[in-house]
Structure 1
Amino acid sequence: MDFNEPTRQFIASHRNDDVRDAALHAHQDDVDMPFALDQIEGWQRARTKLPQWAACEGIIYPPHLAMEQCSSQSAAQYKAALAKRLTADAPHPTTLIDITGGFGVDFSFMARAFDQAIYIERQAQLVGLARHNMQALGLDHARYLNADATAVLGGLPPATLIMADPARRDAHGSRTYAIADCTPDMLAILPQLTALAPTVIIKLSPMLDWHQAVRDCTGALAASPTRATVTEVHIVSVHNECKELLLVIRADNGTAAGKTATDDSTTNDSTTDIDPLVVCADDDTVFSFRQTQAREAGATGHDEPSAAGQPAYLYEPNASLMKAGCFDVLAARFAVRPVDRNSHLFVSDTPIADFPGRRFAIRAYGPVKRTLHGISRANVAVRNYPASVAQVRKRYHIADGGDTFIFLTTMSGRKTAFVCAKA
């Protein structure tokens, strides 16, 4: 991955400039300007998205789309820790195969937990970038294949863990979400993958319904000779923004290591029981449950709204929990009660310090017009409410910002406002 000295100097001189301003210097004939602008923009994105990479002077960045699609450092580190746990008892030498290597961010973090690592990518440009960047990052034990993974599966060696992040864009560049619409089609190759490795991790769009994703994979695994099944579902958020859905698929002889330190259930972990552990991770907050626990909590009425007590605190679950939909489990585990069945907000009479989400002290609540009277500035959110935030601000003349937080929702069929401060 060579480029001339004038291009190198241009990148170094303009690395902190606005890319549009740097483009104004495009008249320099000896500078590879498209490449230079990609490097400037890529490094600027990496400062916040991939700080370890940004700190490495030898990194070469891809065009905009690949930088946009690649994992953030925190998400990649999460997958690396997950892979390390899942393979903790695996015999050595251990081998990672990433069948959709891409820019190589996930690979660079996960590969360090394995004795051997194989990167596969069908785009030659990305393979060249990965080879260069992995060497710059000090990963000397990796092998690289420029190939379509589906074409080489039959020739791959057995692995300890296979990682797959299928492309979620079609031939026209439009986003796709269904597993079968991704490239490669994971449902078609899952039996082959589970024959190669006892553990497979699939990274999917956070837009997918995780229940359906589990059902789809379970159907595809019916043809697997290893009796593999989905044992874990990870919903990963970064700074309260849902980023990815991870499915862990394990062969029958690999389920013993399938429990996490946060799994406090006593549910049988057999692959014959399709009851995956669901892990909701948001930065340093981790909450886990099983579907059997959700059903049990719902059956005992923990998901029912209650008017008992004078609520003093309000709670908003984090993005991963909202995606998981485990509201009845939350109510049962933290002794909070839902404002309403569809509000996805909770209240309590006493503070719950470890609730996984935002916590607020309620200053006032009641009918909307009366409760919002006199408030000119606040942070506004709506949950199960027949108006948008913009419409609320316009109607009640409330500017954005300040230390006051307003939640508008429906409570027992009545429009209700909660005026709060952070607890």
Structure 2
Amino acid sequence: MLPFAEDDIRAFYEEHKHTHAADLLLKAKPEDREKVKWMIEQVSTRKKLETKVPEWAGNFGLHLPPVENLSQASSTITAKYKATEMSGNVLDLTLGSGIDSWQIGQKSTKLTGIEPNAELAERTVHNLKSLGVDIHLHVSTAEEFMKSNSEKYDWIYLDPSRRNEDGKRTVALHRMTPNLTELWPSLLEYGQHICVKLSPLFDLSAIINELSNVVRIEVVAVRGEVKEVLVFANRQSTEEVDISAVELHEDGWKFTSTEFRKPEQGEWGEFLYDPSAALIKANLADEWAFQNGLVKPLKEVNLYTSDEPHEAFPGRVFRIYDIGKPYKMKNLPQRLAIVSRYYYERPEEIRKRLKVQESDSDFLFALGKGKKTSLFIHATRVT
């Protein structure tokens, strides 16, 4: 790592944040190339973090890692959310860039971090100390550390790499780095509580089947987009696993259940409900509808209806104006947002046939697989 002064990093960033890296390297003197490469790296990483972790992007006292080390890094809002769970003596087995530990360290009484990449570890420790977080670092793989470890922890946290040994993306617990299934027994032995962050692509039922002592799984979304799946376990085994869908924003919500009941089927009412991505991923849309008396007109489509509005619904709410056969409806507006669910045409194909422009308020739902049973619904957004 090349330790440049904070003012130098700031000045380079402000001057060159819109300049192509190749142009900067071509113009650099041979003796300045290493410095320029390091500075270009800082510019790229800061631009990546401007919306994800703005507190770091604007802090020029930090020596940020290369962009590739941030491919699965948490954002500020998701890191803060996880940190609310953890306190006491915490072990971060996959320290990486340290964004999660930055928040965890503000809640814990002792924080230990494990990172096999010595250069990345050096930068991360520098950054955490600059941010007021004290951490005990071990340059080691998670597996090597756990083999020699004898300390008990209140919490053990992991965000395993979702690439296998060949560098290919994986959604298999035993192919990640570290290998979660092999490490699991020692995690339960030395951790009172365990929290694992996984990709939204992971199947929840597979997680429960492959990992013992799981007590809770949370599907976490930010502004409607699922960002991560959190798996919580402890030494006490349990027969039931709480499943939660979580939305993080100013008007965020959390819905938890251990049941997966089906709502009644029936006719379309005055209002249409389109569940959030978190509710769908957590397989809780039907359960929310069941608990709140919504009807599910189409068995294969996760859309619901009622005659009275449920403004607290975790998703989008629409008022239905018309229902009809595809391409047979009259007086449709010239601007429509197209939503295709279990339908034989894609939204762009429907838009082309209808010759309509995009809209923020008027929606056309194309539903049903078969041409004889499919339908169009014209609705306007309420929330």
Common fold by TM > 0.5: yes
Q: Deviations over 1:195-227 (max 9, x none)?
A: 101101111121111011111103xxxxxxxxx
Aligned mates of 1:4, 1:212 — CA distance in 2: 47
Correspondence for 1:14: 15
1:415 lines up with 2:380 in the alignment: no
1:143 lines up with 2:136 in the alignment: yes
Code of the aligned partner of 1:235: V
Correspondence for 1:91: none
CA 1:400–1:34 in structure 2 vs 1: closer, same or farther (change >3 Å)? farther
Residue 364 (structure 1) shift: 1.8
CA 1:387–1:82 in structure 2 vs 1: closer, same or farther (change >3 Å)? farther
**More off after superposition, 120-129 vs 6-15:** 6-15
Residues paired across the two proteins, number: 373
Map 1:193-204 onto structure 2 (within 5 A): 193-204=187-198
Residue 10 (structure 1) shift: 5.2
Aligned mates of 1:163, 1:379 — CA distance in 2: 42
1:36 lines up with 2:42 in the alignment: no
Aligned mates of 1:287, 1:325 — CA distance in 2: 14
CA 1:75–1:371 in structure 2 vs 1: closer, same or farther (change >3 Å)? farther
Residue in structure 2 matching 1:317, options 254, 259, 275: 275
Aligned mates of 2:69, 2:200 — CA distance in 1: 18
Map 1:126-165 onto structure 2 (within 5 A): 126-139=120-133, 141-156=134-149, 157-165=151-159
Residue 328 (structure 1) shift: 2.4
Residue 365 (structure 1) shift: 2.0
Correspondence for 2:64: 61
Map 1:267-416 onto structure 2 (within 5 A): 271-273=237-239, 275-284=240-249, 285-291=252-258, 293-294=259-260, 297-298=261-262, 302=263, 304-307=264-267, 311-371=269-329, 374-410=332-368, 414-416=373-375
CA 1:272–1:409 in structure 2 vs 1: closer, same or farther (change >3 Å)? same
**More off after superposition, 129-138 vs 396-405:** 396-405
Residue 25 (structure 1) shift: 3.0
CA 1:4–1:135 in structure 2 vs 1: closer, same or farther (change >3 Å)? closer
Code of the aligned partner of 1:70: A
Code of the aligned partner of 1:165: D
Map 1:200-219 onto structure 2 (within 5 A): 200-218=194-212
Residue 144 (structure 1) shift: 0.7
Q: Do 2:92 and 2:101's aligned partners in 1 also have CA atoms closer than 8 Å? A: yes
SS of alignment partner, residue 358 of structure 2: strand
Aligned mates of 1:283, 1:306 — CA distance in 2: 32
Aligned mates of 2:68, 2:270 — CA distance in 1: 46
Q: Do 2:271 and 2:307's aligned partners in 1 also have CA atoms closer than 8 Å? A: yes
Aligned mates of 2:54, 2:140 — CA distance in 1: 29
Residue 7 (structure 1) shift: 6.0
Code of the aligned partner of 1:57: F
Q: Do 1:312 and 1:347's aligned partners in 2 also have CA atoms closer than 8 Å? A: yes
SS of alignment partner, residue 419 of structure 1: strand
Code of the aligned partner of 1:145: H
Q: Deviations over 1:224-255 (max 9, x none)?
A: xxxxx110001111121111111101112xxx
Aligned mates of 1:129, 1:368 — CA distance in 2: 58
1:192 lines up with 2:186 in the alignment: yes
Residue 56 (structure 1) shift: 2.4
1:98 lines up with 2:92 in the alignment: yes
Correspondence for 1:107: 101
Code of the aligned partner of 1:248: F
SS of alignment partner, residue 336 of structure 1: coil
**More off after superposition, 370-379 vs 237-246:** 370-379
Aligned mates of 2:253, 2:85 — CA distance in 1: 13
Q: Deviations over 1:86-110 (max 9, x none)?
A: xxxxxxxx21001011111111111
Residue 11 (structure 1) shift: 2.2
SS of alignment partner, residue 119 of structure 1: strand
Code of the aligned partner of 1:146: V
Code of the aligned partner of 2:51: T
Correspondence for 1:24: 23
CA 1:12–1:327 in structure 2 vs 1: closer, same or farther (change >3 Å)? closer
The percentage of aligned residue pairs carrying the same residue is 24
Aligned mates of 1:406, 1:4 — CA distance in 2: 56
SS of alignment partner, residue 308 of structure 2: coil
Q: Do 1:235 and 1:281's aligned partners in 2 also have CA atoms closer than 8 Å? A: yes
Unmatched runs of 5 consecutive residues or more in structure 1: 85-93, 219-228, 253-270
Q: Deviations over 1:325-351 (max 9, x none)?
A: 223212112221123111111111111
Q: Do 1:279 and 1:286's aligned partners in 2 also have CA atoms closer than 8 Å? A: no
Correspondence for 2:220: 236
Aligned mates of 2:285, 2:318 — CA distance in 1: 18
Unmatched runs of 5 consecutive residues or more in structure 2: none
Correspondence for 1:261: none
Aligned mates of 1:212, 1:129 — CA distance in 2: 36
1:173 lines up with 2:167 in the alignment: yes
TM-score (ref. length: structure 2): 0.91
TM-score (ref. length: structure 1): 0.83
Residue in structure 1 matching 2:115, options 106, 114, 121: 121
Aligned mates of 1:13, 1:354 — CA distance in 2: 44
SS of alignment partner, residue 337 of structure 1: coil
Code of the aligned partner of 2:358: D
Code of the aligned partner of 1:39: Q
Aligned mates of 2:82, 2:369 — CA distance in 1: 39
1:79 lines up with 2:100 in the alignment: no
Q: Do 2:217 and 2:231's aligned partners in 1 also have CA atoms closer than 8 Å? A: yes
Correspondence for 1:222: none
Code of the aligned partner of 1:51: P
